[in-house]
Amino acid sequence: MNFTEFLEEARQDKNLHLEHLEDNVLNRGVAGARESINFLQSLRDMLAGSSTSKINVTTKWDGAPAVFAGINPKNGKFFVGTKSVFNKAPKLNYTDRDIDRNHPSGGLNEKLKVALAFLPKLGIKGVLQGDMMFTKGDIKKEQIDGEKYVTFQPNTIVYAVPEKSPLSQKMQAAQLGIVFHTSYSGRSLDTMKPSFNIDIGRLKPTKDVWFRDASFVNASGTATFTEAETKQISNILSQAGRTFQRINALVLNRISVNDKVLGEIKIFNNQMVRQGQKIRNTSTHTVNLIRYVENKLNKEILKAKRDDTKKKRQREKNEMMRLLRGAARQLIEVFNLMNSITEAKTIIIRKLQEMRQVTNTFVRTDNGFRITNPEGFVAVDKLSGGALKLVDRLEFSHQNFTAKKQWDK
């Protein structure tokens, strides 16, 4: 399966969650590992200026909530909603009363009512998905490092626009701001297919809605890899290829299809991310993983009050520990491969971050503001419309757990 075919397959699902590039090794086994390496080679070629692939890069905006808006093909009515529009029993909001019933309280209720009031003015055909960046009350005027900005903070990142700029004036005049990144088409909501190649040029401009797509905007010229940088990432990818060849395909695929084992590995890895730590010694990491899983399963056995439950959990523990211990050497190589993919990904992210963006980005701390990078980027295949995300997890995910949020009081 080539990269385009892989993304076409991934595109069959709704865009409810984008996966990290390195996790593709765990999620899809041998196929995922091969795809991730090929994907990084295409991105390297793109930034080296010699790409013949059809990959496009978009900015991953840190917005919230995710909003779906458009026309229900079954009745021709305009609706707004959240990811629950694709539930088996979809929560579609045609009126304020629907919003009160489906989302009865809190900020989401208010945000959806604003969306319902003003997004119809855009003349949306089909269904669009976007991240809401602000509503009228979220816009603030703040001074950061002696500069006057208009700011908004939908989630972790504070977006700042110079107060006197034309962009700032448009945002202040709007009732809401939203970044669209996915379009859906089909004869019914449950059969709709997503596309990341979104055309907002067909939308009707209105002063009440500041909107844009997630297209990567380089406001400072073109940044490409130097010869030395291209050689560096090529060496990393060659190392990844050699590591990949050492991994037993049967063992890796067995892990990828075992939801319990896969889940525990990802939980343990994410604990490192929360602490802002890299997996430096993969042998030690593997030993600690196995110990962590064993201790966790032992606690679950002790919690069981019925003998038959205890026996069932003991059998499940024995099966999982047999798999993990038997795969220990292979897991070391899997983590080595994931490290190589992460290292190459980080070099690409750093190059993309050299390009100045439309807004400044900060993290709010107890001591004021700290400059940060955008949440990350999304690489999109122009032909298939599929995508995977490029996020520096040690930076952004750690910030997401530790940064002072706008709603922290």
Least confident among 46-60, 249-263, 270-284, 330-344: 46-60
- In this predicted structure, the answer to whether residue 401 has a pLDDT above a threshold of 60 is no
The predicted pLDDT at position 220 comes to: 41
DSSP assignment of 78-103: EEEE-GGGGSSS---BSSHHHHHHHS
The predicted pLDDT at position 2 comes to: 36
The predicted pLDDT at position 349 comes to: 82
Least confident among 68-82, 224-238, 242-256, 387-401: 387-401
The predicted pLDDT at position 203 comes to: 96
The predicted pLDDT at position 219 comes to: 43
- In this predicted structure, the answer to whether residue 39 has a pLDDT above a threshold of 70 is yes
Mean of the per-residue pLDDT values of the chain: 84
Residue extents of the structural domains in the chain: 3-60+222-351, 66-213
- Tell me the mean pLDDT in the region 269-293: 93
Strand partners, 176: 135, 209
Query: Residue 66 burial by CB count (10 A; 0-12/13-18/19+): exposed, middle or buried?
Result: middle
The predicted pLDDT at position 273 comes to: 84
- In this predicted structure, the answer to whether residue 399 has a pLDDT above a threshold of 90 is no
Question: Helix (H, G, I), strand (E, B), or coil: what is residue 358?
Answer: coil
Could you tell me if residue 29 is left (phi over 0), alpha (psi between -120 and 50 degrees) or otherwise beta? Answer: left
